[in-house]
């Protein structure tokens, strides 16, 4: 049975992809596992489609598995990440309560908060490293390994979707090799091409079509503060060019990966047809 793993990097349209695939598969006999939360221990051997924040874990366990991945401009990704976790992780922290404006809270998160600077280059982190299998049972992980180890992983600091993915293998060279080995890779700018290739993969391997259904629920990560709905684009427009450049420098590996894939897309668009890997 051919299997596809969608290496879902947080804040890269993964919920939308999962919703489209689920809609196509739920009335078939094809088994799938889709998660948008912490990893869980599950049987991967009988799933035609696996999606989650697992880093390379399924790739390491099933070397023959096909892999799909989406990259996002680091500026948008880091802003969206903040907007997503603010309501649950940051809103009541003293250092954020002391900051008046929402845009200044974002800047503190991006450039000063030591608890969250580890989110820099998190896309490369997921591409290069496996989720720690001990984290599949978060409660058990906490009880078994104690507060000291929890503190070093960031579990108790609310680091959201990074604490359970290792970081020792992260490098530009390795990340580029990973990207080149994956079967379907695009950026959020060409989500349409990505979905076409996902559908093609399912048609070839399982005789199922996946519709690029823009009506499915998508998490836009907007946050309502003092009557204002702050979207990623609104917050991005409030940053100076110098601040945007600073984000790119802090996320230099992610930006290099994004540019690598985006340049391919531009080339394919100029040539009038997207590259399609033979499956």
State the angle between helix axes of 102-111 and 74-85 in degrees (0 to 180), rounded to the nearest 10: 120
Q: In the block, which residue shows the tokens 């799909």? A: 68
Which of 178, 189, 209, 130 has its CA nearest to residue 12?
189
pLDDT of residue 118: 77
Distance CA 221, CA 229 (A): 10
pLDDT of residue 137: 66
pLDDT of residue 268: 84
Of 7-16, 181-190, 232-241, the least confident = 7-16
The yes-or-no verdict on residue 241 having pLDDT over 90 is yes
Q: State the average pLDDT over residues 232-248.
A: 97
Strands 223-225, 49-52: pairing kind: unpaired
Do residues 279 and 183 lie in contact, with contact meaning Cβ atoms separated by under 8 Å? yes
End-to-end CA distance of the chain: 14
251-279 pLDDT, tens digit per residue, is 999 999 999 999 999 988 888 766 565 44
Average pLDDT in the chain? 86
**Rounded to two decimals, what is the model's pTM?**
0.89
For residue 184, the 8-state DSSP code is: E
131-172 pLDDT, tens digit per residue, is 877 667 656 665 665 555 445 544 444 455 566 788 899 999
Written as six digits, the tokens of 68 are 């799909």
Q: State the average pLDDT over residues 44-70.
A: 94
Which of 31, 37, 68, 17 has its CA nearest to residue 211?
17
Domain segments of the chain as ranges = 4-73+120-219+251-270
Which of 184, 157, 9, 170 has its CA nearest to residue 80?
9
Distance CA 175, CA 255 (A): 12
SS3 label, residue 117: helix
Burial class (CB in 10 A: 0-12, 13-18, 19+), 94: exposed
pLDDT of residue 163: 64
- Non-local (6+) Cβ contacts of 188 within 8 A are 12, 13, 70, 71, 72, 73, 76
Q: State the average pLDDT over residues 219-231.
A: 81
Query: What's the farthest any 2 CA atoms get from each other in the chain?
Result: 56
Other Cβ atoms closer than 10 A to 152 = 11
Between 99 and 139, where is the model more confident?
99
Distance CA 249, CA 245 (A): 6
């Amino acid at each position: 049975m051919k299997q596809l793993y969608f290496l879902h990097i947080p804040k890269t349209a993964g919920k939308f992809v999962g919703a489209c695939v689920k809609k196509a598969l739920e009335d078939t006999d094809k088994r799938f596992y889709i998660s948008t939360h912490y990893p869980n221990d599950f049987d991967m051997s009988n799933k035609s489609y696996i999606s989650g924040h697992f880093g390379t874990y399924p790739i390491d366990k099933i070397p023959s598995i096909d892999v799909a991945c989406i990259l996002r401009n680091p500026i948008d990704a880091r802003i969206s990440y903040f907007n997503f976790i603010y309501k649950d992780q940051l809103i009541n922290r003293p250092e954020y309560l002391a900051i008046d404006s929402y845009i200044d809270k974002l800047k503190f998160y991006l450039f000063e908060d030591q608890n969250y600077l580890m989110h820099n280059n998190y896309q490369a982190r997921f591409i290069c490293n496996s989720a720690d299998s001990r984290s599949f049972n978060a409660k058990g992980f906490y009880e078994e390994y104690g507060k000291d180890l929890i503190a070093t992983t960031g579990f108790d600091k609310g680091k959201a979707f990074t604490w359970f993915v290792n970081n020792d293998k992260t490098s530009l060279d390795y990340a580029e090799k990973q990207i080149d080995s994956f079967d379907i890779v695009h950026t959020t700018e060409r989500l349409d091409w990505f979905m076409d290739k996902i559908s093609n993969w399912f048609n070839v391997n399982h005789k199922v079509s996946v519709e690029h259904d823009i009506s499915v629920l998508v998490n836009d990560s907007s946050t309502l503060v003092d009557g204002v709905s702050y979207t990623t684009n609104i917050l991005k427009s409030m940053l100076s060019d110098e601040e945007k450049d600073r984000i790119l420098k802090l996320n230099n590996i992610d930006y290099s990966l994004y540019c690598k894939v985006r340049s391919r897309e531009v080339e394919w668009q100029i040539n009038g047809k997207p590259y399609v890997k033979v499956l």
